[in-house]
Amino acid sequence: MFNTFAPVAPAGLLRFDTSCPSPGTARVAVTGEIDLSTTDLLRARLFTVFAALNPRRIEVDLAGVTFLDCGGLSVLVVVGNLAAGAGCQLRITNPQPVVSRILGLTGLLGILTAEFDPAPPTAHAAGVTGSVGILVAV
């Protein structure tokens, strides 16, 4: 006899809740696992929020994220760099312990969870970007 068990959630399921808690700030709450099968969904959602809302700040709430791999890290860094280049700040909030550990091991915990600057830079700020200016090889 064979028993077939249905998974609790379909593989690759990633959910988003996007809101604007204050003027100029977009919040994207992510729930699920961020891995090879979901990084394109995360990238698309963050790019859409960035392009459609044109926020000065993007807060990515990872309280509901139970797994994060190198592809997810790459998306966060790429979007953070894109945002910084346009005068926007990206910040990670509420990472679960497993996510904090990955961010810490890669040296990204302090960078991606840093508090927002009181006055974010403008898109025309001279020269240096003030956020995630790092390279990640994946």
In a domain, 127, yes or no: no
Question: What are 122-137's pLDDT values in tens digits?
Answer: 443 433 333 444 434 3
Q: What is the mean pLDDT of residues 29-54?
A: 95
Rounded to whole angstroms, the maximal C-alpha distance in the chain is 69
Most confident of 3-12, 64-73, 121-130: 64-73
Give me the domain span that covers residue 57: 14-112
In a domain, 134, yes or no: no
The Cα 79–Cα 62 span in angstroms is 15
Contact indicator for 109, 78 with CB cutoff of 8 Å: no
Q: What is the enclosing helix (H) or strand (E) of 39?
A: helix 39-53
Give the pLDDT score at 114.
Answer: 87
In a domain, 1, yes or no: no
| CATH code of the domain containing 48 | 3.30.750.24
Give the pLDDT score at 115.
Answer: 86
